[in-house]
Amino acid sequence: MAQILSDSQLVARCRSGDQQAWAELVDRFSRYVYAISVQGFRLSEADAEDVFQEVFARAYEHLDKLRDDAAVRPWLAQLTRRLCIDRLRSASREGPTVDGELDLVGSEETLTTLEDALTIHEALAATPGHCREILDRFFARDESYRTIGEALDLPAGTIASRISRCLGRLREFLEGRTEADTPSGSR
Amino acid sequence: MTAFNEERLARLIRALPPAPAAWVRAAQELPLARAGLDEIVARAEADADFKARLVADLEAALEAEGYERHPVVIEALKVRFKSE
């Protein structure tokens, strides 16, 4: 398994001015922040981009105020949600409100799914070999067998079986982690 | 989350597509952008002519002086010089 910094280790390094750690923190949470704004709150790409940059700008600015380094994930989620709501409220003041635009209760299920999805992506980062690459390319990036095969120098005919095998390994890893009752924030 | 069947795992992986690469890069460059921001603010405080040009047309002044126009820097400078 790849050795990956826990969230709290990463935050501590960011706070000490480690720019590489900051880049990794952005990389780790970029999909989550993006998905909350476009899937959870259905912001336009332009609004989502503003929220995305604002979230990371505020996070960078206020990282030293985070009381528990391991809580960076819910902190970023909360910050993103708040900025999305601000954005929707501001849009509703400027023009006619679209039906359901501010009905945020309806997006709770999506937000919960995104939390679970981030947990899976974090577990994926700890899986061995090409599994992360193959699963991410096929499911999250929607690439074809052919594209994946060319990118990873693998016969396209073997991609389907590799995907199936990698999903199995991911499931085993998650089940093993649950049985071992790994504390949150340590990977 | 409790159940880890493979169909659900696939659905959850699919739920987080990558954010646009340019957005990620801009956020990753924040520390460098902040350093650039400090430099611009210090120069504006010491150089009234530069400051006047920033207040008149922020982006044009930055471009003319060869500063990289990072979105975070632009926003921060707009806020800073808004009341000038």
Complex ipTM, two decimals?
A: 0.83
Q: Does A29 share its domain with A94?
A: yes
Among B11, B13, B75, B78, the strongest candidate for a mutation testing the A interface, having the largest count of A CBs within 10 A, is B13
> What percent of chain A stands above pLDDT 90?
60
> Structural domain of residue B53, as residue ranges?
19-81
Q: Nearest residue of B to residue A34 by CA position? A: B19
Q: What is the pLDDT along chain B (84 residues), one digit of tens a residue?
A: 557 788 999 999 999 999 999 999 999 998 888 888 888 999 999 999 999 999 999 989 999 998 877 777 787 788 777 666
CB contact under 8 A, B18 and A52: no
Q: Where a domain ends, among A102, A117, A141?
A: A102
> What percent of chain A stands above pLDDT 70?
86
Q: How many domains, chain B?
A: 1
Q: Where a domain ends, among A85, A102, A119?
A: A102
Q: Nearest residue of A to residue B31 by CA position? A: A19
A185: closest CA of chain B, how far (Å): 15
Q: Does A53 share its domain with A144?
A: no
Query: Within an 8 Å CB–CB cutoff, is residue A123 touching chain B?
Result: no
CB contact under 8 A, A26 and B14: no
> A90 in a domain, yes or no?
yes
Backbone angles phi, psi at A16, to 5 degrees: -85, 0
Q: Smallest Cα–Cα separation from B59: which of B40, B43, B45?
A: B40
How wide is the angle at C-alpha B23 spanned by C-alphas B18 and B29, nearest 5°? 120
Instruction: Give the CATH number for residue A131.
Output: 1.10.10
Distances in whole angstroms, Cα of residue A57 to Cα of each of A64, A68, B29, B30, B53:
13, 19, 10, 7, 26
Q: Which residues in A lie closer than 8 A to residue B16 (C-beta atoms)?
A: 31-32, 35, 114, 117-118, 121, 140
Packing angle of the helix pair A72-94, A7-15 (nearest 10 deg): 80
Please report the pLDDT score of residue B48 as a whole number: 93
Please report the pLDDT score of residue A125 as a whole number: 84
Q: Which residues in A lie closer than 8 A to residue B28 (C-beta atoms)?
A: 22-23, 26-27
Question: Which stretch of DSSP H or E encloses residue A45?
Answer: helix A45-62
Handedness of CA A67, A72, A74, A78 (dihedral sign): positive
Alpha carbon A56 to its chain centroid, in Å, reads 13
Q: Which residues in A lie closer than 8 A to residue B4 (C-beta atoms)?
A: 171, 174-175, 178
| Secondary structure class of A181 (helix, strand, coil) | coil
Q: Please give the average per-residue pLDDT across A112-140, as a whole number.
A: 89
> B1 in a domain, yes or no?
no
Among A13, A20, A28, A30, the strongest candidate for a mutation testing the B interface, having the largest count of B CBs within 10 A, is A30
> A40 in a domain, yes or no?
yes
> B58 in a domain, yes or no?
yes
What are the tens digits of pLDDT across the range A106-117? 478 888 999 999
> B9 in a domain, yes or no?
no
Q: Which residues in B lie closer than 8 A to residue A140 (C-beta atoms)?
A: 13-14, 16-18
Mean pLDDT (chain A, rounded): 86
> Structural domain of residue A70, as residue ranges?
1-102
Higher pLDDT, B47 or A2: B47
Please report the pLDDT score of residue A187 as a whole number: 39
Please report the pLDDT score of residue A93 as a whole number: 72
Higher pLDDT, A159 or A61: A159
Q: Nearest residue of A to residue B18 by CA position? A: A31
Q: Which residues in B lie closer than 8 A to residue A23 (C-beta atoms)?
A: 28
